[in-house]
């Protein structure tokens, strides 16, 4: 059985190796996504306030300016959380062409504005590396998430994530010491910890093979929890069709409002409510929900409209969220009547959603500040080390096996000839 499990670990690891190398390297960079993106794009993302007492323009004023400048685009998302020293970002969606019925392919889908004057600072097509270096970080993100291959790449990386999740347990099992046949079951159990402790050690002065073997085995043990977090959360990001049913069987889960809200028979391009009126309704409904569920609101994050369902989504960061940047407290309400149609609380409402929220936050290093970003960078780099050492161990064993086979063949040939 141990040999069979070892073979599974070996060949599953080889299948995953190159993709985990890519995911580990890109993940180490993406821990600093916003910081690096701002460094590469200071003209787009950094702005100096005219004076300390000047307030940014109303986000709805900025939204209207974007709409005027891009008449072929929908602007259905507004950020409500302005950060001093940063530009205002708007996302564009291609409007539906009345002739073809298809969404218009826009040359750019991100617009950066001076929040104090409304001046357009620049634009880009997210992740289109052909536009230049200002798209480097979004492109690295698509490499990490989907190998920059769209839906097909996302599915493929989801399958890799499932294999990785299973292999986390297989790899851990292989570090367990073999049962000693000359000892009783009780003695084996009592000595288990002492014998297993050897697997946690690294022989730094050993031969290259032993050092690589120890780095692979001991490193995987010391970082096992985070490796599992990365693997299983990657399934959530890329293959929710697997993640959600598994979690739903083991834990309670809230309904996914964005999935269960039905689409309209005919798309509604503009909401019946004005955006300012919708925001007032959203604030009132969120305050009522907070009082009912016993949570407090820290700040507003965004207001978005879905023309395919005719529903607004209002998002805030509350004390049900984990950390200070991962805003996941949502309400959904009818864009014509203001009727509340659903809500989602990231923690405290259902165990499965609480676990999922923590997985997402840990995966994206959205908690505990710069120290955790550094740790996640280290873990991402170590994922590449695990892949590289796994390949090295396989190659050395294969090389040794081939030499032994050649020696046996030569011995048989010599014996036959004599």
Residues of the chain with pLDDT under 50: none
Give the number of other Cβ atoms within 10 Å of residue 52's Cβ. Answer: 6
Beginning with the edge strand found earlier in the chain, give each strand of the sheet holding 329-334 in spatial order: 77-79, 297-306, 311-318, 329-334, 340-344
pTM: 0.90
Is 122:43 a contact under the CB 8 Å cutoff? yes
Is 298:317 a contact under the CB 8 Å cutoff? yes
Q: What is the pLDDT of residue 326?
A: 86
Q: What is the pLDDT of residue 258?
A: 78
Q: What is the pLDDT of residue 259?
A: 79
Q: What is the pLDDT of residue 168?
A: 95
258/309 Cα distance (integer angstroms): 9
Half-sphere exposure of 254 (CA within 13 A, CB side): 21
108/44 Cα distance (integer angstroms): 14
341/373 Cα distance (integer angstroms): 37
Identify any residues that bridge with 317 across adjacent strands, giving them in sequence order. 299
Q: What is the pLDDT of residue 408?
A: 86
141/289 Cα distance (integer angstroms): 35
Is 361:326 a contact under the CB 8 Å cutoff? yes
Q: What is the pLDDT of residue 130?
A: 94
The 10s digit of each residue's pLDDT in 333-390 is 999 999 999 999 999 999 999 999 999 999 999 999 999 999 999 999 999 999 999 9
Give residue limits of the domains in the chain. 1-36+146-177+199-386, 41-140
What are the strands, taking DSSP E only, across 125-170? none
Q: What is the pLDDT of residue 418?
A: 63
């Amino acid at each position: 059985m141990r040999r069979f499990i070892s073979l599974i670990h070996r060949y599953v690891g080889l299948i995953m190796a190159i993709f985990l190398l890519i995911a580990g390297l890109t993940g180490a960079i993406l821990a600093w996504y916003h910081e690096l993106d701002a460094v590469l794009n200071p003209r787009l993302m950094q702005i100096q306030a005219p004076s300390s007492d000047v307030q940014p323009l109303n986000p709805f004023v900025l939204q209207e300016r974007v709409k005027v400048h891009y008449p072929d685009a929908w602007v259905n998302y507004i950020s409500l959380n302005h950060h001093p020293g940063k530009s205002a970002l708007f996302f564009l969606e291609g409007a539906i062409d009345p002739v073809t019925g298809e969404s218009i392919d826009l040359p750019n889908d991100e617009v950066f504005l001076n929040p104090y004057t409304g001046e357009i600072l620049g634009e880009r097509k997210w992740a289109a590396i052909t536009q230049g270096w200002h798209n480097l970080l979004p492109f690295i993100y698509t490499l990490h998430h989907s190998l920059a291959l769209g839906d097909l790449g996302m599915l493929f990386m989801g399958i890799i994530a499932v294999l990785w999740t299973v292999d986390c347990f297989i790899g851990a099992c292989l570090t367990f010491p073999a049962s000693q046949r000359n000892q009783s079951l009780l003695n084996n159990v009592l000595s288990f910890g002492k014998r297993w402790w050897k697997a946690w050690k690294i022989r730094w002065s050993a031969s290259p093979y032993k050092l690589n073997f120890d780095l692979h085995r001991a490193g995987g043990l010391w970082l096992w929890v985070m490796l599992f977090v990365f693997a299983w959360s990657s399934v959530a990001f890329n293959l929710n069709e697997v993640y959600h049913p598994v979690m739903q069987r083991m834990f309670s889960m809230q309904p996914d409002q964005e999935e269960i809200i039905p689409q309209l028979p005919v798309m509604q391009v503009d909401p019946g409510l004005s955006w300012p009126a919708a925001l007032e309704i959203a604030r009132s409904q969120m305050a009522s929900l907070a009082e009912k569920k016993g949570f407090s609101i820290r700040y507003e994050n965004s207001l978005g409209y879905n023309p395919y369902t005719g529903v607004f989504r209002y998002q805030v960061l509350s004390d049900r969220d984990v950390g200070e940047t991962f805003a996941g407290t949502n309400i959904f309400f009818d864009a014509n009547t203001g009727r509340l149609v659903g809500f989602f609380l990231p923690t405290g409402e259902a165990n499965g959603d609480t676990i999922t929220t923590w997985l997402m936050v840990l995966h994206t290093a959205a908690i505990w500040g710069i120290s955790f970003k550094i740790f996640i960078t280290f873990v991402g780099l170590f994922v590449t080390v695990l892949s590289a050492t796994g390949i090295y161990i396989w190659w050395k064993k294969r090389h040794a096996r081939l030499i032994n086979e050649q020696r046996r063949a030569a011995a048989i040939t010599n014996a036959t000839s004599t």
